[in-house]
Homo-oligomer: A and B are copies of this chain.
Amino acid sequence: MNYLEYLPVWNRLSAAQQRALRSSASERVFHKGTLLHTGAGGCAGLILVLSGQLRAFILSESGKEITLYRLFERDICLFSASCMMNSIQFDIAIAAEKDTRALLIPAEIYKSVMNESAPLANFTNEVMGSRFSDVMWLMDQILWKSFDTRLAEFLLNEAGIEGSSTLRITHENIGNHLGSPREVVTRMLKYFAQEGMVRLARGTIEITDPERLRSCAEK
């Protein structure tokens, strides 16, 4: 199996470009808890996740952490190879949250192919845009904060009313209650689900960690 085919633009690379990537990529295993990368200008290389889960976060001087986003199967971690781009001037840390198998592509090889391949450069752009969107979403949460609090409160309140931790309610409906667009509700519920606070199924929302949801509601 050539895992490099996980790159959506693989077939648009020349034979020589494919060869350069294939001959330099190596499979790695990062055990749960491993810190893969830290600081600015990372040069470990581009990481393509094959299985497992990575977490990208920032660290304050006092050691406080905040999660920026998570990477799952087929996701690409750009910032472990951010030395490729002069303009990236921020510190980020990446750790394995589960045992993770990944393909590591050396930064200078990826960069040299990207420099001559418009498809790979445009794909890289999309990856960066997607991480940028994650960070902007988080920034929104941090700045205006209220929505996660309000949603957590709403879910706990509904569960109390229904006498059940499994709620039969649509995202649209919740949006109506809270005066927010459905998309915003869905996005936040997915975040709650990632954090293990709820489990989402067709037409239902199950509260799986009421304690954490409560602490979120009481922020």
Contacts and interface: CB of A to CB of B under 8 A. Distances in A.
Interface of A: 58, 60-62, 64, 66, 82, 85-90, 92, 114-118, 121-122, 124-133, 135-140, 142-144, 179
Given A58-B139, A139-B58, A142-B143, A90 B122 contact: no
Given A117-B118, A122-B115, A135-B132, A144 B89 contact: no
A61 B144 contact: yes
Q: Which 6 A-B pairs have the closest CB atoms?
A: A121-B121, A87-B129, A90-B136, A87-B130, A60-B144, A89-B133
A49 to B, nearest CB: 17
B144 A142 contact: no
Contacts of A142: 139, 142-143
Given A114-B122, A122-B121, A139 B135 contact: yes
A78 B101 CA distance: 35
A11 to B, nearest CB: 16
The copy count of this chain in the complex is 2
Contacts of A131: 132
Residue among A92, A139, A142 with most chain B CB within 10 A: A139
B125 A128 contact: yes
Contacts of A139: 58, 135, 138-139, 142
Given A58-B140, A61-B144, A143-B58, A85 B129 contact: yes
Contacts of A133: 87-90
Contacts of A122: 114-115, 121
A128 B128 contact: yes
A137 B115 CA distance: 27
B179 A143 contact: yes
A142 B140 CA distance: 11
